[in-house]
Chain A
């Protein structure tokens, strides 16, 4: 009797209705790190299978966007670019912004996009959104190269004067902030989407709207005083501004703004994980 009891005490897993809300299941995620890698690889490889241009799309997309912005916002609307060549100005904004917006849009459909797989087999659900943050990072890297090449071209052949400074070393922090923010908000939205599908429609134009509230197509310095606070409250604003400041020497850089972004990101991440953990256990019932 006692022997049986001690024998039965060492269960390796207990499945119960509730789980620890803040548990990151880091141990579990570590065990599934190969899956994380394979998901990243799958996303990357499958994107350009059966396309003629293949990985070139990673370049074409930002270039076309930048050209469009140059024509519409630069030439037609005549928005200020802080004295920088329009191509450089918009490209820097587009590269930063598209990483954040890619992350948040893709992650916010995590549950719906993976319903088929989630419904059949267990693995730590966080693997799916994490793989998005990483695979989009590869795209960001490629686009960042494009930005550097374009910048060099302007400096060498067009004698554009830019003043890169020590703050460009902050880039990894900026990337972390964008990824973290995209992940946190994405998790939050994806969790809500499982129950209230309305969120799905909201996210599409919500992200679009947020872009206009971020200094992507205009410099923060040219924002009228009455809107300045509103734009600064946007946690992505300091990231874009700091990126431009570090590489180009223009823009508004403030440590306080960056700290604000950081705090915002941490809160969004925590909140996102709590809600995600709550939803992941039973979301299959409502999809």
Chain B
């Protein structure tokens, strides 16, 4: 009974945004709006708000970033908010964090909310790490004594104790993120709202973050989590909502939400695919994946998967050395089956010219079916591009065992194997 106590209740929540150049003509609209209000009429600009679909250019200057969203969250829940770019995820988090107010509807909350729309908010470059811990903590709503009590833990969690008295303008991006997350992770609030912060930082630190959030969850606190990293959402959340064009499309357990999302998510397949328009996981994008070209598609069972990746340099000023390029093949549940990267082979690339292509050959005994590929590109410490689970890899054929149904064979790989019955009596 206690577990099903509502901690957040969202009622008919809507948010109208104005597109384009705000300022020109806004005085005129203000006057019209004021005139309508004076006569007791509805705001004339609210009516024209179009549904939020970024691929089409609407007729209206106004767009409903969220429209009539209603759902509630129970105490101790870990809710994943899933949706494509522009689905309204960020807007929902902004409303929950009180950064901006809704246009219609309301949100009722029980308890303190700590929202992590960004880590290290309000860091001042001239102040030291220590001074910034206090500043950032206070911005997040902690009192000085609360921060003091947790200072040691925070410094230790950040792993940058040696530089704590250095102004943070001398810090690397990674160090700032660690420091910021360390402060945020020690907030004492009933509700924690987290947006995409895991995208930065190395994998060790990402794991640390996930562990910390799992711990927060186990303490019975409520988490709202938005991330493009579906595997992280899956491992952390119990329930999920799917947003699409500002509307609530699905609410239920996280597996259901991920399955719903997977069916509506626009993945692409084919022998030669242009990658420019796909959604990106948080990355810098000075060089991007431009195309993927398979030698054969669909790939036959047992046949080496051969494809080449072609990059496009957006920023010609920078030298992209120390390339870390990785391709993952994931199953339907977004769990990784194969992970290939040049650094595993000890190969070091510098991308000096877009004529340079990257040829992959991956041995294959994947079970026939559909898989999702993730492409990842890093130069030095900077994540340049990251396309997650949107390219479908199709393996065709039947199983090598000659069994009548592929579907009855579990698992994702079909290695050759042998089972024989041996009569031990005969051997003796």
Contacts and interface: CB of A to CB of B under 8 A. Distances in A.
Interface of A: 7-8, 10-19, 31-32, 34-35, 37-39, 42, 45-46, 49-50, 116-123, 195-197, 281-286
B101 A281 contact: yes
B272 interface: no
Nearest to B6: A8
Nearest to B125: A46
B22 interface: yes
A125 to B, nearest CB: 10
Contact of A121 (B9, B139, B144): B139
Interface string B81-121: 00000000000001111111111111111111101011001
B18 A285 contact: yes
Nearest to B119: A120
A11 B124 contact: no
Nearest to B9: A8
Contact of A16 (B9, B27, B97, B106): B106
A196 B27 contact: yes
8 contacts: A10-B110, A12-B110, A13-B109, A13-B113, A15-B106, A34-B138, A46-B127, A118-B99
Contact of A282 (B9, B100, B139, B143): B100
Contacts of A285: 17-18, 100
Contacts of B108: 11, 13-15
A123 B113 CA distance: 11
A175 B307 CA distance: 73
B102 A50 contact: no
Contacts of B27: 196
A94 to B, nearest CB: 28
Contacts of A45: 126-127, 131
B424 to A, nearest CB: 66
Given A42-B135, A122-B115, A284-B100, A15 B124 contact: no
A47 B102 CA distance: 37
A254 to B, nearest CB: 40
Contacts of A34: 138, 142-144
Contacts of A19: 101
B103 A17 contact: yes
A121 B115 contact: yes
B64 interface: no
B386 interface: no
Given A34-B138, A120-B99, 15 more contacts: A8-B9, A12-B112, A13-B113, A14-B106, A15-B96, A16-B105, A16-B107, A17-B103, A17-B105, A34-B143, A46-B126, A116-B122, A122-B98, A285-B17, A286-B26
B134 interface: yes
B99 A15 contact: no
A122 B97 contact: yes
B101 A14 contact: no
A16 B100 CA distance: 10
A259 to B, nearest CB: 35
Contact of B118 (A46, A120, A281): A120
A120 B117 contact: yes
Nearest to B117: A120
B127 A15 contact: no
Nearest to A119: B99
Counting from the closest, the 4 A-B pairs by CB-CB distance are: A281-B101, A122-B98, A35-B138, A15-B107
Contacts of A284: 94, 99-100
A282 B108 CA distance: 18
Of A7, A15, A31, A284, chain B has the most CB atoms within 10 Å of the CB of A15
Contacts of A49: 126, 167
Given A8-B6, A17-B101, A38-B138, A286 B107 contact: no
A282 B101 CA distance: 6
